[in-house]
Chains A and B, each alone.
Chain A
């Protein structure tokens, strides 16, 4: 069974700092991996989707990388802003499966 770990569980940084969020997973036979953002009391918003054949994906100030063989993904946020404060979750998809396994997330606070 796939297990997903996100470290750290919480992170506080000053505005403007670049930061990296980490995600590791135990089963490398994944089809893709998504990074989501969740604001308090709200649903999840998909930020980036990386297919297993890709190494990275970029959207604005966000860059996600995937090393399938080592079971790791990172989300890089450049020039952080207070509006980036949220919980970030990663979720790999099993090979040939519609199902995602979610990590418990990293709660990010960007201090003005």
Chain B
């Protein structure tokens, strides 16, 4: 069965800390995505990657960076966490062909204090 795994379900960090959110998929998908979800704002795309070492900015990339050294793993990095980055973070993946279904992980609820 298809699986997208996010390393942490809940995470609490301090302002100014560097934060790493990890995502692994076992479906050999080329595309991987990071979204954040906030009440009233819905899901917003932060970054996506269509191949190893390739990345594209989404709608809200400021304050974030990403890393994709291996096909199955896509990391989201908060360089210096701030309280306005408290959110639910969702990782997703899809096959290379446009028009394929998107598969999501269970999400990481990040609180920055």
Question: Are A and B bound to each other?
Answer: yes
**Interface residues of A, Cβ cutoff 8 Å to B:** 31-32, 34, 36, 41-46, 49, 51, 89, 91, 93, 96-100, 102-105
B34 at the binding interface (Cβ < 8 Å):
no
Determine whether the beta carbon of A45 is less than 8 Å from that of B104: yes
Given A98-B50, A98-B94, A99-B48, are A46 and B101 neighbors across the interface (CB < 8 Å)?
yes
CB distance from B9 to the nearest CB of A (A): 9
Given A44-B90, A44-B104, are A103 and B42 neighbors across the interface (CB < 8 Å)?
yes
B106 at the binding interface (Cβ < 8 Å):
yes
**Interface residues of B, Cβ cutoff 8 Å to A:** 4, 31, 33, 40-43, 45, 48, 50, 58, 88, 90, 92, 94, 98-107, 109
Determine whether the beta carbon of B50 is less than 8 Å from that of A42: no
CB distance from B49 to the nearest CB of A (A): 10
Q: Which residue of B lies closest to A95 (CB)?
A: B98
Determine whether the beta carbon of B50 is less than 8 Å from that of A43: no
What A residues does B100 contact at CB under 8 A?
A: 49
Given A98-B94, A99-B48, are A43 and B99 neighbors across the interface (CB < 8 Å)?
no
18 contacts between A and B (CB under 8 A): A32-B99, A34-B102, A42-B106, A43-B90, A43-B104, A43-B107, A44-B90, A46-B101, A46-B103, A96-B98, A98-B50, A98-B94, A98-B98, A99-B45, A100-B45, A100-B102, A102-B43, A103-B42
Selected contact of B98 from candidates A34, A36, A93, A103, CB within 8 Å: A93
A98 to B90, CA, bound (A): 16
CB distance from B61 to the nearest CB of A (A): 13
Q: Which residue of B lies closest to A52 (CB)?
A: B99
What A residues does B43 contact at CB under 8 A?
A: 44, 89, 102
